[in-house]
């Protein structure tokens, strides 16, 4: 069943984002996520799923805030870097927000969130956040993951 399930999910195109948190000392931690979606408009809630096996999971499990950067099609290398378990992922291309979050400088869009709830879900935890800040720069084409690779999607008019 696991192989069939993986094949079904590989056929579902999804956007790619980088989710980040800060630990108690203010150090940033983050990972690439494809499980990110809106939950509610009023109040504005989103969710993301964090694998318990992720190196940064303990920080996501206790942080009170997180930020999500929706990636452009030009961010594939950044997405790959944040998908690894490497200790040092933060370098060029990232900036601090006025709230203190760390986001991709030229992200397609950014949402800063306060954690509302966490839910156990198998080998992941679903983190629900209330959106308290957004940044929406100029338009662009999104990074898309389909069939275990990045795919091109032209910007919709």
User: Mean pLDDT in the chain?
Assistant: 90
Confidence of residue 157 (pLDDT cuts 50, 70, 90): very low
Pick from 23, 14, 15, 16: nearest CA to 90: 23
- Domains of the chain, CATH where assigned: 2-151 (2.30.110.10)
Q: How many residues does the chain have?
A: 157
Mean pLDDT of the region 95-99: 91
Q: Rounded CA gap, 116 and 47, in Å?
A: 10
More confident site: 94 or 6: 94
pLDDT at 82 over 50: yes
Beta-carbon neighbour count of residue 152 at 10 Å? 10
Q: Do the Cβ atoms of 77 and 84 come closer than 8 Å?
A: no
**DSSP reduced 3-state for 93:** coil
Mean pLDDT of the region 38-61: 96
Mean pLDDT of the region 53-81: 94
């Amino acid at each position: 069943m696991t192989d069939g399930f993986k094949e079904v999910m590989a056929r579902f195109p999804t956007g790619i984002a980088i989710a980040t948190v800060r630990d108690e000392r203010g150090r940033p931690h983050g990972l690439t996520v494809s499980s990110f979606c809106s939950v509610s408009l009023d109040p504005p809630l989103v969710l993301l799923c964090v694998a318990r096996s992720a190196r940064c999971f303990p920080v996501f499990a206790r942080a009170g805030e997180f930020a999500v950067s929706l990636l452009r099609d030009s961010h594939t290398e950044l997405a790959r870097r944040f998908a690894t378990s490497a200790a040092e992922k933060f370098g060029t291309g990232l900036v601090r927000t006025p709230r203190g979050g760390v986001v991709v400088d030229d992200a397609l869009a950014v949402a800063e969130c306060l954690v509302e709830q966490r839910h156990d879900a198998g080998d992941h935890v679903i983190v629900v956040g209330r959106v308290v800040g957004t940044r929406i720069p100029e338009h662009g084409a999104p990074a898309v993951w389909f069939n275990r690779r990045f795919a091109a999607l032209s910007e919709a008019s």
